[in-house]
Structures are given as C-alpha cells and as structure tokens.
Amino acid sequence: MYSTIFIGTFSKKYTSYVHKRKRNMGEYKFEKWEFKDESLKIEAITHKSFASENPADGPHNERLEWIGDTIITTVVSDYLFFRFPDQKEGTLTKLRSKIVCKEALAKFALKLGLENDLRLGIGALQSGDRSNERILEDAFEAYIGAVYLDSGRNLNEVIKFLEPIVKLFMEELAENGNGLNSSPPRDSEPVYGPINKIIEPSDPNGMLQNWAQSRGFDIPDYKCIENKDNNNKPIFDCEVIIDGKCFGSGSSGKKKEARKKAAICALESFGIYNYNSSPI
C-alpha cells in the first residue's frame, strides 16, 4: 500500500548500514497511496480555484488540508520522539520545524508526483501554480488527511506511509550539514549515514549501549589490555564487543578515554555518529 525504501538486518555485514547512497530527495520518487475511496483522493487534489469554477465536481481540499496538517505534525512528532529518545523537547521542536515547513512539504508533494494530479482553475493553471510551493504544501497536507481517512483513521498506517519520506529527508538534512545529533533510534531499522552533526554526544558509551539494547543485542563489552609506551607509561588498548564481534577499538593513557574512543569507533562504523564532522 506504500513504498519501502531500504531494508537491512543487524546480522548482515555491519558496514552495510553505512550506506553511501547517491540518491536524494531530488531523485527519489515514492509510491502513492492506493485509495479504496477514490473520492477522497479527488478531494485531496482539488484546489479551491477549480472548485469555484466547477462547483458540481465536488469540494475543494481545504478541510482535508486542515486535518492533514494535524496528522503530519503528530506523525513527525511520534517519529522524532522515538528516534531521538535522549533529546530535549526544544531540540525536537527545532527539527520538527524543518520537516513540516512549507518548503519540505512542497518537496514531499513533488516526491509523490502530486503536481501532475492537481485540479486547478484556469487562472491558476495559467499562472503556473502546479509548481507553487504553497499550493503543493496544501495539497500534501490534504493528501495525508485523505490517507488517514481512507485507512479507517488508522494512524499506524499513516506512519508507515509517511516515515520513508521523512527518513530520506532527514538523511539529506544530515548530508547538507543541517541534521541532528541523537541517541540511537529505537525503531528496528538501521541508521543510514551520519545523522549526528550538531550536538556532540557527551556519553558515546551510553549511546552505543542504548543502540544495542534497543535492538535486542548484548550490552557492549569492553576488553582492555594495559601496555607500556616508549616512555614506559601505561597505555590502554580497548575493543568493544557486541554479540561476540569487535566493532570498534581505541587507545589512550586513560582506560576510560580508551573505552570512549572504542565506542566512538563503533558508532562511526554503524553510521550513527560522525565524530569528525564540525558542529553547526
């Protein structure tokens, strides 16, 4: 009923999660919802300019737009709340504002190809309003409102339909340097690419543990060996082990710092955190 973008499991090679994709929102198209009630789809793509010129052809989309606006905000809030379990409400609000803004929602409409479906009045067509951001934003909101009603007001179905679009958009935010640093997401899907580019995590060891436990894996185990450097000072070489496999290592004169470096190495290998990226 809706599109699925990426799949993967933890049992596959872990580096497959660090997905160097060249696709972005400008290139990727998503499948439309398969409506059971076609009248909802027609209403969602009907601009008031068309309805005023063709009053016998049904209502315009502003009522659906109204409920769709609320549904989108709810779905995005739900997604961010569980994807970033340790972020404060202020940070989540800032990111949500990037996702539900006019520019982003208009882009989502284009990804669904709604610009080709819009029913516009003659004047709006002559003005080139198929590419008007405000009209596209409104159409997307109305479309999501229609999806919600067509699903039997099943919010989980809307979440499954909308999340792939939001996820890809967030990856693009991260790649453009406008992403959000986070604790690991609690959903069951892998993290694709370094999302964490703004706020450096103060506790990478805890971040890695949360990530592993959220997927049902063992608590990360740190194996540390004390050696001596050329000046006969102690140096600790640590590896972090998850489910019997080493996914990161680090060395330091302090055991705690070596464990931290090992955790950061593992987080980077999974694409959860990019330590070398500059905070914005």
Task: Catalogue the active-site residues.
Answer: 69, 141
CA distances 144 to 106, 123, 155, Å, are 13, 26, 11
Q: Exposure string (b/e) for 212-251, b if CB count within 10 Å is 16 or more?
A: bebbeeeebebebeeeeeeeeeebbebbbbbeeeebbbbb
Supply the DSSP string of 160-226, one letter for each residue. Answer: HHHHHHHHHHHHHHHHTT-----SPP-SSSPP-S----SS--S-HHHHHHHHHHHTTPPPPEEEEEE
Distance CA 235, CA 205 (A): 19
Distance of CA 23 to the CA centre of its chain: 15
Residue type for position 89: E
Q: Please measure the distance between the N-terminal and C-terminal CA atoms of the chain and give it in whole angstroms.
A: 38
242 by DSSP, 3-state: which? strand
**Could you tell me which of 143, 146, 164 has the C-alpha nearest to residue 36?**
146
The strand pairing partners of 251, in sequence order, are 237
The HSE-up count of residue 33 (CA atoms within 13 Å, CB side) is 28
